[in-house]
Amino acid sequence: MTNHWLMKSEPGECSVDDALAAPDATVPWVGVRNYQARNFMRDAMQVGDGVLFYHSSCAEPGIVGIARVASTPYPDPTQFDPESPYYDPTSKPEQPRWMLVDVQVVQKTRNLTLAELRAHTALAELTLLKKGNRLSITPVDAQHWHVISALLLIK
């Protein structure tokens, strides 16, 4: 069974256009420093899982693309780089704390805004829309995936 995920990225860090411009439209999802989000990547994501690519911390947050998980989890190299804003001096190469997966953009979409998502009662239980949710990676159930796909007119 394929799982579905919503993964947030700030466009200044990695936009959907940046991902599309990368080789094979694939980018490593670096910099996750939340244990629950890390655990999703490490323990639950599988190659081929669907991803809603979401732009956050921008003028018009929203879903801007459809992607897929393109690798099994592996250590995030930024945790070992003292020059990186994601450096973690307590993480060791022999026992890495932070993992990542590669994400491949399959299709850029129109921006399905947060306001539009909130306007659909069928999406009321979408984790992204729940009060207080700040996770950068959240699961998306099949029902919500289908509603969002229909809103984006994706087959």
* Cα atoms in the 13 Å half-sphere on the side-chain side of 44: 13
Sheet of 62-69: strands edge to edge?
Answer: 26-28, 102-113, 62-69, 50-55, 4-9, 137-139
Q: What is the pLDDT of residues 56-99, one digit of tens each?
A: 999 999 999 999 999 999 999 999 999 999 999 999 999 999 99
C-alpha span between 27 and 29 (Å, rounded) = 6
Q: What is the pLDDT of residues 13-56, one digit of tens each?
A: 999 999 999 999 999 999 999 999 999 999 999 999 999 999 99
